[in-house]
Each structure stands twice: as C-alpha cells, then as structure tokens.
Amino acid sequence: MSMSPPRRPPRSLPRRRALQAGAALVAARLLPAGAASMDDLPGVRELTEYLAGRTAQFGRLALDIPRLADNGNAIPLRIAMRGPFAAGAELRTVRLYSEKNPVPLMARFDFAVPPAKAELDTRIRLAGTQRIVAVAELANGDLHAAFADVAVTVSACLDGS
C-alpha cells in the first residue's frame, strides 16, 4: 500500500549525503523522539472514557494513512505494532477513533490469540478532514497510541445518479 509518491533521489552522492543529513536534522527538530503526547489526542468523549485517565505510550504503534484521501468514502489504512511482545504483554485489542465522524469509535479489533504479526489493514470512511487515533491495549493493560491527520476533500462534481 503506497502512502505517498516515491521521491526521486538527488543525483550526486555528496549532495545526497548533505541532503540526508539536513533532512535528518530537520526531522529531528520537528519530531524529536517522544514529541507525540496525550495532548495530541482529540478530546472525543468515547476516547476519553475508554482511556479513563490512563496514559498511552507513543512510538511503538504505527498508523499509516494517506495525508490526502482520494475520496472520504474509502481511505486505506494500516496499523502495525513492533514486536517482540513479552509473555503477558501480548496484543489484545486495537481501537480506531475518529475526531469528527458522528460515531467516533470506527472499529474495534480483538485478538483472542496473539497474532504472529501485529499488522492490520482496512479502509475507513471519514466525514471531512480530521485526526484519526489508534489505541492498542496489551494483555498487561499497557496502552499504545498513534494518530494521523487526513485531509478529505469534496468531490468536484455532484453526483445524482
């Protein structure tokens, strides 16, 4: 699943190295490790109720979704969580929340048996540009969260067919 168009590499090696170093510096400044926090999660009632005051960790759960949706009716996404999962800390549940949909809890996935690989794809529907949140709960109660912003545009032509 392609998340963004592939970038063409710069032509010369020294230039590429310099660009890479620069990009790494920029990335480090924009997103230092641990920058994502509970404050980034939208204050949606259902999400707040589920969290019940608990703190989620960021960084281990990844939420891959296009920044600009082709159409709000079907947007592909991938949830992935890095292993290894220690005994007693297996992946049990993943919940997907929408910031602006009329029904914030979009889906809930339960793993009765720990999955061999913690990766899940589906397609969601979004009522407009908003932030999506995924929250994974492990067997020991630990919470891991990830969020992403998706821009959803209206269709250029109305369709009354």
Partner 1 sequence: MSARGAGAALVVAALLMLQGGQPAGAEPRSGIAYAGADVRAMQADDVANPGMLWVERGAQLWSAAPAPCAGCHGDAALSMKGVAARHPQWSAGAARVVDVEDRINACRVERQHLPPLARESEDLLALTALVATQSRGLPVAVDVDGPARPAFLRAQAFYAERRGQMNLACTSCHVDNAGKRLLAETISEGHGNAYPAYRLEWQNLGSLQRRLRACLFGVRAEMPPEGSPMLTELELYLGWRARGLAVESPGVRR
Partner 2 sequence: MAFARIQLPPSVKRGDPIEVRISIRHPMETGFRVDDVGRTIARNTLRDLVCRYRGAEVFRASLGSGIAANPYLRFYVTATESGEMVFEWVDDAGERGDARAAVVVA
Dist. CA 69–CA 14, nearest whole Å: 36
Is 130 an interacting residue with respect to partner 2 (CB under 8 A)? no
Task: Kindly tell me which residue out of 50, 64, 66, 131 binds partner 1, with binding defined by CB under 8 A.
Answer: 66
What Cα–Cα distance (Å) separates residue 113 from each residue in 62, 86, 135, 151?
21, 14, 18, 35
Both structure tokens of 40: 């980034």
Cα–Cα distance, 81 to 138 (Å, whole number) = 11
| Least distance between partner 1 and beta carbon 19 (Å) | 23
Of 83, 75, 144, which is closest to residue 117 (Cα–Cα)?
Answer: 83
What is the nearest approach in angstroms of partner 2 to the Cβ of residue 153? 17
Choice from 20, 48, 59, 119 touching partner 2 (CB under 8 A): 119
Q: Which does 96 bind (CB under 5 to 8 A by kind): partner 2, partner 1, none?
A: partner 2
Among partner 2, partner 1, none, the one that 41 touches (CB under a kind-dependent 5 to 8 A) is none
Residue 73 has a CB neighbour count (10 Å cut-off) of 12
Q: Which stretch binds partner 1 (CB under 8 A): 40-48, 78-86, 87-95, 147-155?
A: 147-155
